[in-house]
Chains A and B, each alone.
Chain A
Amino acid sequence: LIDKFCQHRGLRAPLGLVKVHSARSPELAALLYRPGLHPQHPPSIEWAYDTISKSSWPLVRNLIPVLPVDEQSFACVVASPANAHKPVPGEGAVVRWHMGIGKSKYQAALLDVSVESYVMSVAQELQARPVGLRRMLDEIGPAYQIDYLAQSRRPRDYVVRPVRLACQNVVVGLAAFAHDSVIDGMSVVAWQACEVPHVAAHEGNRALAALMLCDAYQSGGTMEIRFDRPARVQASGKTRVGKNIKLDVCYPGHPEMSVPASLRRYGRTRGIVLGGDDPASISPREARALFLAVTPMPKGLAGRVQRAADKGVSSPEQLCFTLLSQIWREIELDYMLAVSDRIGSILRGGAAWTHRSARQAESHVCRSALMAGMLFRCLDTRDHATSGQEVRVLEDQRLGVTWDISSEFGVITFCGLSSAKLPWQAEPVSARVEPSLTVLPRSYICSEDLSLARSLRNRGPVAIVVPFDFDLVLPLTDDILILRCPDRLSELDRSIDAALCKSRTMRA
C-alpha cells in the first residue's frame, strides 16, 4: 500500500519504509501514518499531509510523514523522486518537520539515519516508557524528596539520584543514576526523553547525556555507563504532596536493560554507535565520543580541543567537563588553547604558588582569557537592564557575535557586532561599533603590543583590553582604542583563583 501511495505522489518509497509498514509494531499501531484509513483522522497518511499543508510550513515534496513527533511536528522520511536515476542525498533518513517554527535552521533536523531504526527505536522507547515513568514519578523521585530534599541533605555519589530536565516549564527529560563501585562506573536505572515543539530535536537526550557524563566524570571511575546494574531504592515518610509512602524497591537495571533506544538514536545522528561494544553499556571509549558530541563547541574550539587531546595536554573528558561546568567558558578555553603552552598546567589547577614565574605567566594568560570572555558577553548580549523603558528579558538575548583567534599574536577578532556603541570606553571617547573588532586582551601593555596593534589596523578597528586599574604609560595614537574591563587586576585574579581551585578538585 505504502509503495503504491508513494508512486502516486511521484516518489520511490525507501526500502526501510516498506519494511516498517509490512512489520507493523503493535506499539505504533495507533501512530504510524499509513494509507487506506479514514482520511479525516490520524493515523491516516492523508490526514498528516492535509494537516501539514494547512500550516505555515507546507511539506517539502520528497518527504513522507511516518510518525508524529509532538503536537507540532512530524517525523518524515526522505524519499527520492520516482524518476530519479540516483537517490537523493539522505534517502531513507528521518527528519523532523515543524508546522510552525521561528528559525528556519531548526526545520528538517535529522531524527535518525534510517526509517527502520527510527521506527524500531520509537517502539522500544514507548514500550519501556510506562515502567520508567512510574519509577521516576512514584518511586525514585519521592524517595529522593523524603531522604534528601526534605532534610536538606546532599546525597553521596552512590545514591540513586533523579534528574529532571525542563525547558520553559515543560519536562523534556527524566533520568536516575548512581555511581557503582562494583564496576567503578555509572549505573543508570531510568532514562526518559521526549521532543517538544519549542525545543530543538534531540535536546532532551543531549542535555541529559551531558548531565550524566559530567556526573560520571565527577564521581571518578572508568566512565563506563551501564544500564543493567541492579539498584535499590528505600524510603519511608511523607512526600511533598502529603502522601505517606514506604518504599523498598530493587531494579534489575534500566527497563530496556540496554542503552536506551532514544539515546542510541541520538548517538546515530552524531555518528556514534552506543552500545556497540556491549549492548547494555556505554563503554569508556563510546562515553568519550558522546561527551565530545554533547558539549556545545564552536568549530574552531572543537578543533583545538581535539588537537589538545591528541597532544596529551588533557583528556577530552576533562576538557568537556571544564566547558560544561563553565569553569572556563568557551571563548576563554579557546583563547588559552590557542595562545599558550601552559594550558595543560592551567587545566590541572595551575602551577604551585612557590613557582612564581610559572604562576605569573599563567596569570597573564588567564587574565587575558577572562577579559576576552567578559568583553564577548557584553558584545553578544542584548540587555536592556539600563534602558529604563523595557521589562528586562533574560531569555534568548544573544546577538550571534562570533570570534576568531589569531594564535600567533594572541589576538581575537569579533565579527557580527551590532550594538550602538562599544562597551568599556572612557568618556567622552565613544567609538561606534563596526561589524568587526580586533582585540588584544592584555593585563599589561608593552611596546610590542602597541606595535602589534598598529600593524593590525588594516583589519579594521583595533582595541587593547586592559584591567580597570591598569596604569597606561606608553603614548597611544588615536586609532587604537583602550577598553577598560570593569574588573581590577585583583578581582580578575580572584576569579582566576576560584577557577583554578575548581579545576584541582573537579573529580574530588
Chain B
Amino acid sequence: MTVERAILVRIAMNSPLVEVLLRDIEGARARSVKSLPGERDDIFRYESLCAKLESLAFRALDEGAPWLEMPPGDRSNEFYASDQSDGLEPHVATTVADWIAHGFIGVELRLPFCAGKAVVDSPVSQPHVPAEVWKAPSGAEGTGAVTLRFRCQVEDVLKGSPGSAIRPSGVANRILTETLRQFSSPQRDRLDAPVVYRDGSQGRPFPLRSLTMRTDLAGLTGSIIRVSLLSIRHPEMDAEVDGAWLRNVDVSRSRPEGETDQRVEEITRSQLRELCASGPVILYMYQTGLGAAVMGFYRAALLQMISAPDSLTVIPMYYRKPPNARGTPWERLGTQQQPYYVGGTPWMT
C-alpha cells in the first residue's frame, strides 16, 4: 500500500488569479455551509475551486517553490493566509506566519502515492458479522410481527445491549409513532437512544423515558391545527387538513436518511417554537410514510414538550381503509371522510 504525505506549499498571494480564487473559495464555503442536506451544487463548486488552488500549488511545487512537511491528520483549512494556523505544529505555524508576513500563503497538498512513513494509519476494526435473523415469537404475522420486532429493538436499547439502536427503516409510520410514544413516557431514567438507518447514517439520539405523558384529552385547550406531515404525497388528505407541516420538495430527496431526519427535526423545532409562542397548540398530524420524517418530527415535538410543558399536544392521525370501503379513498371524500383516518395515542403532557 502506498503512503500518504501532507505538505504545505508556499504560493504568492499577489497574483490576481490567486486573489480571486481565495475570495471565491471563501464565498463558496459560506454558501455550502447553508446548503440543505443532500444538496451538492454549492459544495461541488467549493471543491472545484479548492482543486484549482491545489493545481496552482502543485505547479508552484514543480517550479521549485518552498514547501514543508505537515504533521499527519485531517484538517479543514484549504489554505493558510492569516491567523488561522490553529492546530499546526509550532515550527509549521512559525514558517507559515513568516510566509504570510512576506505576502505568501500556504496551501496544503496531499501526496497519496509516496514511499515513507504512513500519514494515515491503517484502520483495522472488527469484520462486519452477518446480521441475526429475526423470528417473530409465537408466530405473529403482518403488522403485529413488525411491531414486535421494533419493540424488541427499543427494549434492547433500554437494556443497554451492545450495538443496539433504534432502526426505523422499513417500519410503518403508525408502528413507529405508537412504539416511540409508549417508550417515551413515563419520565424515568431518561435514555438518549441512538438512531441508525439502514444506509448506515445516524439520526440524533431519541430521548426515551424523557417525559410523563397522559392520554386523556378532556379539558384540553389550545389552537387546533390539522396538518399532513408531508405535502403532495397524499393529496386526498387536503380536504382534511389546514396545511402541510413539511414541504415534500425539502424532505423527499436522495440523501442519507439520517440527514433527512436531522433536517425534519430542525424545521419542526423552528416551526413549533414559532407556533407555540402564542399559546398552547393541539396539532392533529395526518401521517404519511417516510420513517426518517416521522422520527425527526416526534423527536422535535418531544423536545418542545420537555422545554415548554403544556405548550403542545400532538394527536397522530393514521390512514386506515374501512373494511367495506369500495374504490380509492379520494373518490369518497366529502361524503365519508372520517373513517379513513383514526387517531393514535396523543403526545401530551
Task: Using CB atoms and an 8 Å cutoff, list the residues of chain A in contact with chain B.
Answer: 157, 179, 181-185, 219-224, 230, 281, 283-285, 287-288, 309-317, 338-342, 344, 348-349, 351, 353-361, 363-365, 368, 407-410, 440, 442, 444-449, 471, 473-474, 489-490, 493-494, 497, 501, 504-508
Contact = CB atoms under 8 A, between A and B. Distances in A.
Contacts of A444: 54-55, 58
Interface in B106-146: 108-115, 118, 120-128, 130-136, 140-142, 145-146
B89 interface: no
Given A283-B133, A344-B123, 5 more contacts: A219-B170, A339-B1, A342-B120, A353-B47, A354-B76
The 7 closest A-B pairs by CB, nearest first: A220-B198, A312-B125, A315-B128, A284-B130, A410-B113, A222-B131, A473-B62
A343 B152 CA distance: 34
Nearest to B134: A184
Nearest to A496: B47
B85 interface: no
A358 B74 contact: yes
Contacts of A314: 128
Contacts of A223: 130-131
B170 A501 contact: no
A181 B146 contact: yes
A477 B126 CA distance: 47
B133 A224 contact: yes
Contacts of A312: 123-128
B1 A508 contact: no
B55 A471 contact: yes
Given A182-B146, A309-B128, A490-B51, A407 B133 contact: no
B110 A407 contact: no
Interface stretch (B38-46, B213-221, B269-277): B38-46
Given A361-B4, A407-B1, A184 B149 contact: yes
A182 B142 contact: yes
Contacts of B234: none
A508 B198 contact: yes
B48 to A, nearest CB: 6
B345 interface: no
Interface in B23-50: 32, 40, 43-44, 46-48, 50
Interface stretch (B90-98, B252-260, B311-319): B252-260
Interface in B133-165: 133-136, 140-142, 145-146, 149
Contacts of A338: 1
A489 B51 CA distance: 8
23 contacts: A179-B170, A182-B141, A183-B134, A184-B170, A185-B133, A222-B130, A223-B131, A224-B131, A284-B132, A285-B130, A309-B127, A311-B123, A312-B123, A312-B127, A356-B50, A357-B6, A360-B108, A408-B2, A444-B55, A446-B58, A448-B111, A497-B40, A507-B199
B55 A339 contact: no
Contacts of B55: 444, 471, 489
A356 B254 contact: no
Nearest to B111: A446
Q: For the complex, would chain B's binding face be called helix, strand, loop or mixed by DSSP majority? A: loop
B185 interface: no
Q: Which of B74, B123, B169, B256 has the most CB of A within 10 A?
A: B74
Interface string B268-305: 00000000000000000000000000000000000000
Contacts of A408: 1-2, 115
Contact of B75 (A182, A221, A315, A357): A357
B255 A183 contact: no
Contacts of A184: 134, 149, 170
Interface residues of B, number: 70
A506 B198 CA distance: 10
B63 interface: yes
Nearest to A440: B113
B127 A310 contact: yes
B51 A507 contact: no
B178 interface: no
Contact of B145 (A182, A368, A494): A182
Contacts of A157: 170
A388 to B, nearest CB: 38
Contact of A409 (B2, B126, B198, B254): B2
B59 A473 contact: yes
A341 B113 contact: no
Given A184-B149, A355-B76, A360-B110, A221 B47 contact: no
Contacts of B118: 341
Contacts of B170: 157, 179, 181, 184, 219-221
A407 B118 CA distance: 14
Nearest to B7: A446
B197 interface: yes
B112 to A, nearest CB: 5
Given A505-B254, A508-B256, A355 B48 contact: no
Contacts of A448: 111, 114-115
Contacts of B75: 355-357
A494 B113 CA distance: 22
B334 to A, nearest CB: 25
B78 interface: yes
Query: Which of B40, B62, B131 has most chain A Cβ within 10 Å?
Result: B131
A492 to B, nearest CB: 10
Nearest to B74: A358
B112 A361 contact: yes
B221 to A, nearest CB: 39
Contacts of A360: 50-51, 54, 108-110
A359 B257 CA distance: 22
A446 B136 contact: no
A473 B110 CA distance: 19
Contact of A356 (B61, B73, B76, B146): B76
B42 to A, nearest CB: 9
Contact of B32 (A181, A316, A317, A353): A353
Contacts of A281: 133
Interface string B218-250: 000000000000000000000000000000000
B22 interface: no
Contacts of A355: 74-76
A114 B108 CA distance: 62
A316 B187 CA distance: 42
Nearest to A501: B40
Contacts of A287: 130
A349 B257 CA distance: 14
Interface centre among B76, B109, B130 (most CB of A within 10 A): B130
Contacts of A181: 145-146, 149, 170-172
Contact of B1 (A284, A341, A440): A341
A467 B133 CA distance: 48
